[in-house]
Homo-oligomer: A and B are copies of this chain.
Amino acid sequence: MGRWEPNARGRLEQAALDLYLERGFERTSVAEIAERAGLTERTFFRHYADKREVLFAGSSALQELLVGTVARAPEPAPPMEAVAAALRAAAAVLQERQEHAHRRQAVIAANVELQERELIKLASLSAALAEALRRRGVDDDSASLAAEAGIAVFKIAFRRWTEQAEQTGQADQAGQKDLSQFIGESFAGLKAVTAGT
């Protein structure tokens, strides 16, 4: 009843991901998430609007990070450099929470509606990146192209990072590449395919 619950948000998120992975997203209720976390439904709704929100609440922080990094990129940096800096910043945050990121991805991969929601969130990130570039004086088309290409690079790097985790498991984390390395490789790949036009 309004009392302070230590790390309620983190416990709810953990419980939700556990249940989504065990039973599937569709077959999990808010009541079950709250129960698993040892909290009330009322506490759940103080932190999240609904059970989908648990998976997507982080994307506004990610967007702020991307936009902020683009805004702070050194002035003469070409647009793609600013985008690359933003993606590296996002990669560092995701790398810190790598287990969470992979578990979340597994939940999303199992549900078409969540995949669609993720696509829409990525499109918002692209629009926000493009807007941040425009505010730096980048022309409209270059801003959109750099942002869209950056998000494409990110999607492919993220997928490879996820596949690596699936293949090697938690046991053998030595010798694994960071998300930021995959992003670097993916940028190089984009440059190679684009130069070949």
Contact = CB atoms under 8 A, between A and B. Distances in A.
Interface of A: 78-81, 84, 116, 119-120, 123, 141-142, 144-146, 148-149, 152-153, 155-156, 159-160, 185-187, 189-197
Contacts of A190: 145, 149, 194
12 contacts: A78-B197, A79-B193, A141-B160, A142-B192, A144-B156, A144-B159, A145-B152, A145-B153, A145-B190, A145-B193, A148-B156, A194-B194
Given A84-B197, A191-B195, A145 B79 contact: no
A78 B116 CA distance: 30
Count of identical protomers in the assembly:
2
Q: Which 5 residue pairs across A and B have the least CB separation, nearest first?
A: A148-B152, A78-B196, A194-B194, A146-B193, A80-B197
A167 B191 CA distance: 34
Given A141-B186, A149-B190, A196 B156 contact: no
Contacts of A196: 78-81
